[in-house]
Amino acid sequence: MVNVAMVTENTDGNIVVQSNWSTHSYRLTKANCFFGQQTHTLRAADGGLKIAKRKIIVANDCIPNVLDFYSV
């Protein structure tokens, strides 16, 4: 689940989207929940928007297993 918290435009004309997220993982009869914040910087290109920068912060204090790109 992603909740958009704020959409702004920076001095370069890029769009900055800040959001909170949570994801649930079920593996080997165990359930885990991961949560955090992310910031996307979007740039206008080729008649659309492209991701110029992405920053993800995982806020869990303990992660019980390997966390890969597809978990976030």
**44: β partners:** 49
Q: What is the 3-state secondary structure (H, E, C) of 30-56?
A: EEEEEEEEEEEEEEEECCEEEEEEEEE
CATH number of 2-71: 3.10.450.50
Give the pLDDT confidence of 16-60 residue by residue, as tens digits: 999 999 888 887 888 888 889 999 999 998 899 999 999 999 888
pLDDT level of residue 67 (50, 70, 90 thresholds): low
- The arithmetic mean of pLDDT across residues 2-26, rounded, is 86
pTM of model > 0.75: no
Contact yes or no for 21/39 (Cβ under 8 A)? no
What are the sequence ranges of the domains in the chain?
2-71
